[in-house]
Amino acid sequence: MRVPMIAGNWKMNTTVSQAVALVNEMRHELNEIGNIDKVVCPPFISLSAVGELIKGSSIKLGAQDMYFEERGAYTGEISPLMLAELCELVIIGHSERRQYFNETGEIVNRKVLAALRVGLKPILCIGERLDENEAGRTAEVVTGQLRSSLVGISDLNGLVIAYEPVWAIGTGKAATGDWANETIGLIRRNLAELYGKEIAQRVRILYGGSVTAANTSEFISQSEIDGALVGGASLKSSEFLSIVKQTSEIRG
Active site residue 164: yes
- Out of 94, 218, 224, 239, the active site residue is 94
User: Residues 41, 63: contact at Cβ < 8 Å?
Assistant: yes
Distance CA 167, CA 135 (A): 13
The least CB distance from residue 56 to ligand PGA, in Å, is 27
Q: Residue with the closest Cβ to ligand PGA?
A: 231
Using the minimum distance from each CB to ligand PGA, give the nearer residue, 13 or 69: 13
The least CB distance from residue 172 to ligand PGA, in Å, is 8
Distance CA 86, CA 61 (A): 8
User: Residues 147, 194: contact at Cβ < 8 Å?
Assistant: yes
Sign, CA dihedral 77-83-84-88, equals: negative
The least CB distance from residue 231 to ligand PGA, in Å, is 2
Using the minimum distance from each CB to ligand PGA, give the nearer residue, 28 or 128: 128
Using the minimum distance from each CB to ligand PGA, give the nearer residue, 27 or 97: 97
Cα 238 vs. chain centroid, distance in angstroms?
20
- Out of 96, 103, 128, 164, the active site residue is 164
Using the minimum distance from each CB to ligand PGA, give the nearer residue, 36 or 166: 166
Binding site for ligand PGA (CB under 6 A): 9, 164, 169-170, 208-211, 229-233
What number of CA atoms fall less than 13 Å from residue 70's CA on the CB side?
Answer: 11
**E-only strand ranges, the chain:** 5-9, 37-41, 59-63, 89-92, 121-126, 160-163, 204-208, 227-230
The least CB distance from residue 211 to ligand PGA, in Å, is 5
Active site residue 94: yes
Which amino acid, one-letter code, is at 244?
A: V
Using the minimum distance from each CB to ligand PGA, give the nearer residue, 68 or 167: 167
Distance CA 162, CA 80 (A): 20
The least CB distance from residue 168 to ligand PGA, in Å, is 6
Query: Which residues carry out catalysis?
Result: 94, 164
